[in-house]
């Protein structure tokens, strides 16, 4: 035992910690810090799950615009429910530039549903489905729209531009009853167009 040297740190009751021990001592946090950390971690996890689920729905195509009425002006929203009106309003505010004279109104901004084409102030969709006139009319009604009505030269040109060199016939919203032609909204055909 004579050759052994033993070192020991002696502490007296009033000394406290040395400066080296104070640097390495764990910080004591109030208990609520841990609770806040766990709650915020859980919140981040919930947000991550929501982002993944919504992204999957968007990429699978299950989230599509619910707007299918044409034309996009006037009384087209009178028959829509409040949620659809709010969605249309929010999309218009997001995508359209406000007019200078009225910051809440959109100047010439029209929105069309996915897979529809905007020509003038109307949205058109050229269906790939085939069928008779009644099936075409019903298909349009199922989407909240109607067969195209050629009321003026501009609309006739729009239809020609959309159909292009298509070889299949295209149904329009014109029908005959007792040798009188009328549009699907019951307005008579203007033969002087």
**pLDDT tens digit string along 40-53?**
999 999 999 988 88
Q: pLDDT per residue over 6-16, tens digit each?
A: 766 666 665 55
pLDDT of res. 67: 36
Evaluate whether 152 touches 144 at the Cβ level (below 8 Å): no
Cα-based angle 25, 29, 32 (whole degrees, multiple of 5): 160
Residue % of the chain over a pLDDT of 90:
6
Residue 44 token pair: 């981040």
Distant-in-sequence, close-in-space partners of 154: CB < 8 Å, separation ≥ 6: 120
Name the CATH topology of 126-193: Mannose-Binding Protein A; Chain A (3.10.100)
pLDDT of res. 45: 93
Q: Where are the domains of the chain?
A: 64-121, 126-193
Residue 7 token pair: 């070192």
Residue % of the chain over a pLDDT of 70:
66
pLDDT tier at 56 (50, 70, 90 boundaries)?
Answer: confident
- Provide mean pLDDT across the span 158-184: 83
């Amino acid at each position: 035992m004579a050759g052994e040297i033993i070192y020991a740190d002696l502490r007296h009751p009033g000394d406290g910690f040395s400066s080296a021990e104070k640097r390495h001592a764990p910080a004591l946090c109030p208990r609520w810090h841990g609770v806040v950390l766990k709650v915020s971690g859980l919140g981040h996890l919930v947000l991550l799950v929501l982002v993944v689920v919504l992204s999957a729905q968007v990429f699978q195509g299950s989230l599509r615009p619910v707007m299918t009425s044409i034309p996009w002006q006037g009384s087209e929203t009178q028959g829509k429910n409040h949620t659809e009106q709010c969605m249309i309003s929010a999309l218009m505010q997001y995508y359209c530039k406000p007019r200078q004279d009225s910051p809440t109104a959109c100047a010439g901004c029209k929105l069309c549903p996915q897979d529809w084409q905007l020509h003038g102030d109307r949205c058109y969709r050229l269906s790939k489905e085939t069928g008779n006139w009644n099936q075409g009319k019903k298909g349009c009604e199922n989407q909240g729209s109607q067969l195209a009505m050629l009321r003026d030269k501009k609309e006739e040109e729009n239809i020609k531009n959309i159909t292009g060199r298509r070889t299949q016939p295209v149904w329009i919203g014109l029908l005959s009853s007792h040798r009188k032609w009328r549009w699907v909204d019951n307005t008579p055909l203007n033969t002087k167009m």
